[in-house]
Amino acid sequence: MTSTPQPISPLGKTRDGFADACAAHGHSPHPARAAYTRFFRERDHDALPACAAAKIAPIVNRLDETCEEGVTTKFVQRLDRPGTGRLADQGVPHLDIESVIIPMLGRTGRKTHTLCVSSQVGCAMGCGFCETAQMGLVRSLSASEIVGQWWAARELLIEEAGGAGAPPVFETHHTPNNQTGGTPVPPSDVPPKIDNIVFMGMGEPLDNLDEVLAAVACLADHTGPGMPMSAITISTVGRVDGLRRLIDVVQQTGWKRLGLALSVNAPNDEIRDQIMPLNKKWGMGELREVMLDLVAVRGSRKILFEYVLIPGVNDAHEHAIELARWLQPFVRTQSRGHIGMLNVIPYNPRRDSPWPAPSEESVEAFVGWLRAEGIFAKRRRTKGRTQMAACGQLGAPDIRKRNYTPVTTNQTVG
């Protein structure tokens, strides 16, 4: 009995990759290329050839929280049901992924939107402060499921702007990574759009690196979504094997400006071992070494370091001094500017958290101590905490509550 081949999805593929896949199914690659651009630019599913289809996971829930800069929106997309596997047997009827649209106001007053995407359902890294880690790793997402989050977020913004059902208007930027063609339109006529993407949602991106890189290549394709590579950031808890792979990736044409972020979260190995089990495999010395190797091949592009400030764990004055010493190779010297920036993130309590959120006074004090040591440090503004949409709070509670042993990822990175 011959099985029906799965439709080819443009989500997660570059235009050339999509055209090649269509050609392998007997379709001319030239119309496929045109259909790819029309699909992403005009949201035209009907333009796709017969061998292709784009499946966007439906949004089944959204939570909004108003902040000074607008509305932070967490939306939940539902994947295929688990079927008859272990999750279904233990009362979990479906798999959900969570993403967050974060409003930003720049110095000029221009409003932008950053999308925090997930790369996995759950996570295998086991960080004690993170809600997603309490789920364990359920499965990794495909590139099309990752790009599908961008598609869904864009649809939400277009709908809220009153443009439901109408083709979006794309602003033309005269840069290689964001060419849209057509006639430029005044900025006032451009509907809200996703300006930045950060892989800081559910999952560890370097634990699913092949699919993440395929998603980034699609998102940055100037004939498709057209996101500038500099507007995409991959964040990691510190898989050194994956970081070493990225050393080769960022030296490829068009990839040098890919944003990279490292969650440090501790001033020394003793504390990091306690809250981030991965540190027992790759300690802070090896981690700093690979980050310096990345700096060496990325030119002037800064590395973003992240530090979740947890009361009574890593927030003392001596911790700030110790952290500043670890960051010393990344600070300003007489011959160059800062090559690293530190974001201090006030801890957002997960469900059943053993720690509270830090006080504003303690956050300001910690940032001040770092700056006194010469560190380029900023405080991450807290958004979405009351809706479990802030950093470290994403996670499906029905999966977390199951009687289930987290799986060990069988994917290799590097």
- What are the catalytic residues? 391
**In sequence order, what are the residues at sequence separation of 6 or more whose Cβ sits closer than 8 angstroms to the Cβ of residue 127?**
133, 237, 265, 275, 276, 277, 278
**Closest listed residue to residue 217, CA positions, set 174, 178, 246, 254:** 254
- The amino acid that residue 263 corresponds to is S
Q: 12 by DSSP, 3-state: which?
A: coil
- Within 10 A of 158 (CB to CB), how many other CB atoms are there? 20
Q: How far apart are CA 27 and CA 8, in angstroms?
A: 12
Structure tokens at 253: 């044409």
Angle at CA of residue 85, ends 81 and 86, nearest 5° = 115
3-state secondary structure of 328: helix
- The single-letter DSSP state of residue 236 is E
- What are residue 136's phi and psi, to 5 degrees? 75, 175
DSSP designation for 101? E
The DSSP element (H or E) to which 274 belongs, if any, is helix 269-275
Instruction: Return the DSSP state at 381.
Output: P
Q: Are strands 196-199 and 232-236 parallel, antiparallel or unpaired?
A: parallel
- Identify whether the C-beta of residue 348 lies closer than 8 Å to the C-beta of residue 385: yes
Q: Which of 249, 184, 200 is nearest to 220 (CA)?
A: 249
Neighbours of 145 (CB within 10 A): 25
List of E strands, 147-222: 196-199
CA distance 186 to 258: 28
